[in-house]
Structure 1
Amino acid sequence: MTRKQLEHILRASGDIADDLEIVVIGSQAILGSHPGAPAELLVSVEADVYPKNFPERWALIDGSIGEGSPFHDTFGYYAQGVEEGTAILPDGWKERLVAICNANTRGITGWCLEPHDLVISKYVANREKDRRFGTDALRFGLTRLEELERRLERLPLDSERVNEILARIRADHRR
């Protein structure tokens, strides 16, 4: 997905949900901080989003421009409407959101996860594609190991789970 495609999704999602603010929590949130992110981080054709002010309207987005919709068929990418609590994130993540608001979004603000918060959520999910994303973000210098370690301490998880995630991050960083 490209930044322009994400901006299109933000515009459409805002119109559908009647909300001027859309939160992006999936991998394509990287486009908020890094519009020209490496191709390895942009392989997904979906953007995981929910309306900031009306989070209960996530299903409207999913049903209108989600996977298999005419929008998806027409453009080759889509919005995955998700619930607000879908991603497990470090405390303070909302204060670190990165805004996208320009002529292409037509007044809709996309609030994208900051890269370290994004990568932490990927490691919590612990799917192979998420670990690959986290490893690539580190390799390309979009995140720093020290900051990931600090953010881990702010996760709403027990210490055993946090230590497991930390071990995975460190192992992937050594690759």
Structure 2
Amino acid sequence: MNREQFAQAIRTACAYLDEPYVVVFGSQSILGSYDDSALPMEATMSREVDITPGSAFVTGIDLEDKLSALDVFVGEDSPFHDLHGVYVEGIHKDTVVLPNEWENRLVHFTADDGSGAKYGRTGLCLDPVDLCVAKSIAGRTKDHEFVSALIRDELVGAGDILDRIATAGIQWPAVYTDDRELALTRATRWLESVITD
């Protein structure tokens, strides 16, 4: 995914949701901090932008209808996907494992309309270190490849990721049923091994 595709996904998601901003989770939130030309190939391979509506942080909102709208209009196999080669996955914010106070470190990415005028659509993207914490805890092969590539290219430091885990602690969603201590131990050992390699 390149940054223009990312911006298009944000603009279109905001338009269908009738909201001025969305929160971007997942690997492609890295595009809020870096242009795709500055990123390693491993960081831009995904075709999916994980998004939750900004209104998800307001009580009393029917989130299910909004997530359904994302899936129908800009989701996988939608006309948007066919046209742009990328798609949006509507996700619940309460399913994501992140460091505490991640909301205070969000990176604002404003998608303009291509003519230089601001379109008023913003993606609030995960801070790169917070993103790498989430990926390290998830611990899948593709997550390790993603984080390793950012560390290799010196865009994020393994020590910074470990420090964020140690100092901020983790905000575990209620739906997370795996062994939390084991997940943390595995993430920490893997990051320490990256430092010593």
TM-score after normalising by structure 1: 0.92
Aligned partner letter, 1:131: H
> CA 1:83–1:171 in structure 2 vs 1: closer, same or farther (change >3 Å)?
same
Aligned position for 2:101 = 92
2:46 to 44, 47, 55: 44
Which stretch of the first structure deviates more once superposed, 119-128 or 108-117? 119-128
What secondary structure sits across from 1:111 in the alignment?
strand
Superposed structure 1 runs of 4+ greater than 3 Å apart: 156-161, 172-175
Amino acid at match of 1:65: V
Q: Which moved more, 1:128-137 or 1:45-54?
A: 45-54
Aligned to 1:113: 126
2:80 alignment partner in structure 1: 71
Please give the secondary structure, in 2, of the residue aligned with 1:107. Answer: strand
Aligned ranges for residues 149-164 of structure 1 at < 5 Å?
149-153=162-166, 154-156=169-171, 158-164=180-186
Percentage of identical aligned residues: 31
Q: Which amino acid aligns with 2:149?
A: D
Q: TM-score, normalised on structure 2?
A: 0.82
**Unaligned ranges ≥5, structure 2:** 58-62, 173-179
C-alpha deviations, 1:87-119, integer Å up to 9, x for none? 200001111100111423711111010100001
Contact 1:119 1:134 in 2 (8 A): yes
Indicate the SS of the match to 2:150.
helix
Equivalences, count: 175
The alpha-carbon deviation at position 58 of structure 1 amounts to: 2.3
More strand by share: 2
Quick one: distance in 1 between partners of 2:24 and 2:162? 23
Shift of 1:173: 4.1
The separation in 1 between residues aligned to 2:156 and 2:84, in whole angstroms, is 30
